[in-house]
Amino acid sequence: MSKAMVVDDSKAIRMILSKTLAEFGYEVCEAANGREALVVFEREKDSISLVLVDWNMPQMDGLEFVKELRADPRHSSVILMMVTTETEVEQMVRALEAGANEYVMKPFTKEIIADKLRMLGVVQ
């Protein structure tokens, strides 16, 4: 079973996204900020192949997390999708340049997430 991680400081958002990913057959783990997500990543020993990550979180934000993860060549194939309230073009460009593969603006629907995942080729 493929493993995914949802990183968001909102428990409700984590629940919604985890449920969607589970419906696509993913085993899902969660983290409440970027720092915690990096710890989970180390613990899971490179088994996570997909991460949905918020931008604005305490301790370490999503953009920093993306940069940190991409700085490690072991994680170059991990699919990173930002799911955030940031809707400025400049922010999107920053996220994509930092190494995010895709970007979803909140509010989102299950269909929006599913279509993006299909587009990324990670679900049927």
Instruction: Give the binding site for other proteins (CB under 8 A).
Output: 87-89, 92-93, 95-96, 100, 102-105, 107-109, 111-112, 115-116, 118-119
DSSP symbols for 69-94: HHHSGGGTT-EEEEEES---HHHHHH
Our CB check for other proteins shows the closer of 33 and 101 to be 101
Minimum CB–partner distance for residue 93 and other proteins (Å): 5
**Closer of 16 and 96 to other proteins (Cβ):** 96
According to DSSP, the β-strands at 27-31 and 48-53 are unpaired
Least separation in angstroms between CB 26 and other proteins: 20
Which residue's CB is nearer to other proteins, number 43 or number 118?
Answer: 118
DSSP 16-65: HHHHHHHHTT-EEEEESSHHHHHHHHHHTTT-EEEEEE-S--SSS-HHHH
Partners of residue 3 on adjacent β-strands: 27, 48
Minimum distance of other proteins from residue 13's CB (angstroms): 15
Nearer to other proteins among residue 59 and residue 85 (C-beta): 85
